[in-house]
Amino acid sequence: MSTSSIQQQSADVVIIGGGVRGLAIAYFLSRAKVDVLLVEKRFIASGASGLNMGYVNVSAKKPVYYTRFSKMSADLYPKFNQELGGDIEYERKGSVFVAESEAAMQDLAQIVVERNVVPGLDMKLLDSAELLRLEPALSPRLAGGYWSPADGGVNPLKLTRALARESSRLGARIMTGTEVQDIRVQSGRIEAVHTGEMTIATHVVVNAAGIHVPRIAQMVGLTVPVNPERGQVVITEALSKILRHTVGDYKQFADGQILIGTTNEDVGEDTQVTSRMISDRVGRALRIIPALHKARSIRFAAALRPMPPDRLPIYQKMEGISDFYVAVGHSGMTLAPITGQIFSDWITKGRSTYDLSAYGVERFEG
């Protein structure tokens, strides 16, 4: 392609990645009247943001500082939902996690003690009878479980679409099918982002490219460790109401479909669905929710979650290159509102009110 045919664009901030993190940051920046251009190599929510439970999950997060951080984000959701139009199927009805054995119950008891250090979490251990009162469709053979009232959920596709819609309405430009090929840096300062057909003049870049965060970071000479982790799921046909809450790896959406999740596999960038893993997940689901014996599966799928080595987020304004930010990790749905707020404040005010010292890339040195 000749130089003359390359489009020339400019933006105050370029965000790379059209998953929930990139879109949340675009939304908050657009709300602050920042000129934002978001580029996505495929389509909105084409990765893990489009294939997950939409679990706003506090109870499963550890260590304690990450539990607290997740709860801060979950507490922002009621206002966040209202701002986005209230059509993302947000609810905060709590969640249930089950144990199939007494040994597993002992593990859950320890988790409840550890998590309840965080004020307001108020988790409770349940025996089998208490569990069935909350979720009558569960197997009476379960040993028990725990109840976490701080947890909730959204529809992940509706959330990402709402963020894209509202960002665009506020002036953000979102370009899909647009892959970043290079970032030009001069004297430690970003000058432009290059795609195959476009040069975008900018001095600020947010790298929210999911599993591709390491490749984008390498373009400016930085190292960010992120591994792709495959998560396989099963989605059933629409059923009458079976589940009242999210139950561990199982969630029933408003349309009646049930998602059975999810594997955690270190297999590189392989999105194949494997019969062994699906059989394992379905077999456990049938033991826990016997009514699923009557359900038909309509979709088997896999997505790649971006997972730092310690499974905690990397949220950082990187050293060595001016105004290059990294936003990556799992649990993008839980952290969406706090993520948008953090990076908007960082970029527009030069600081964040949240303590992010635990989420820098320096923790991996050595």
Residue 39 has pLDDT above 60, yes or no: yes
pTM tops 0.75, yes or no: yes
User: 324 and 190 in contact (C-beta within 8 Å)?
Assistant: yes
pLDDT at position 3: 55
Distance between CA atoms of residues 52 and 107, nearest Å: 25
Burial class (CB in 10 A: 0-12, 13-18, 19+), 125: middle
pLDDT at position 105: 98
| Mean confidence (pLDDT) of the chain | 96
Contacts of 159 (CB under 8 A, 6+ apart): 20, 54, 84, 88, 333, 336
20-31 vs 332-349: helix crossing angle, rounded to 10:
40
- pLDDT band of residue 307 (cuts 50, 70, 90) is very high
User: 146 and 97 in contact (C-beta within 8 Å)?
Assistant: yes
- pLDDT band of residue 77 (cuts 50, 70, 90) is very high
Residue 343 has pLDDT above 80, yes or no: yes
Instruction: Indicate if the alpha-carbon torsion angle 132, 283, 97, 245 is positive or negative.
Output: negative
What distances in angstroms separate CA 147 from CA 59, 119, 122, 238, 341, one per listed residue?
9, 16, 9, 26, 29
Distance between CA atoms of residues 315 and 36, nearest Å: 19
| CATH fold for the domain made of 3-51+157-226+311-364 | FAD/NAD(P)-binding domain (3.50.50)
Token pair in block for residue 158: 């509706």
pLDDT at position 133: 97
Neighbours of 262 (CB within 10 A): 23
Residue 4 has pLDDT above 70, yes or no: no
Domain ranges of the chain: 3-51+157-226+311-364, 95-149, 227-307
**What is the average per-residue pLDDT within 5-16?**
94
- Residue with the larger pLDDT of the pair 4 and 334: 334
Give percent of the chain with pLDDT exceeding 90: 97
What distances in angstroms separate CA 230 from CA 47, 178, 267, 302, one per listed residue?
11, 24, 7, 6
Residue 124 has pLDDT above 90, yes or no: yes
CATH architecture of 227-307: 2-Layer Sandwich (3.30)
pLDDT at position 6: 82
pLDDT tens-digit readout, 155-187: 999 999 999 999 999 999 999 999 999 999 999
**What is the average per-residue pLDDT within 94-112?**
98
Distance between CA atoms of residues 323 and 318, nearest Å: 7
Q: What angle do CA 228, 176, 76 make, to 5 degrees?
A: 65
pLDDT tens-digit readout, 180-216: 999 999 999 999 999 989 999 999 999 999 999 999 9
**What is the average per-residue pLDDT within 238-266?**
96
The DSSP string of 201-267 is: E-S-EEE--GGGHHHHHHTTT-----EEEEEEEEEEPP-SS--SSEETTEEE-TTS-EEE----B--
pLDDT at position 5: 76
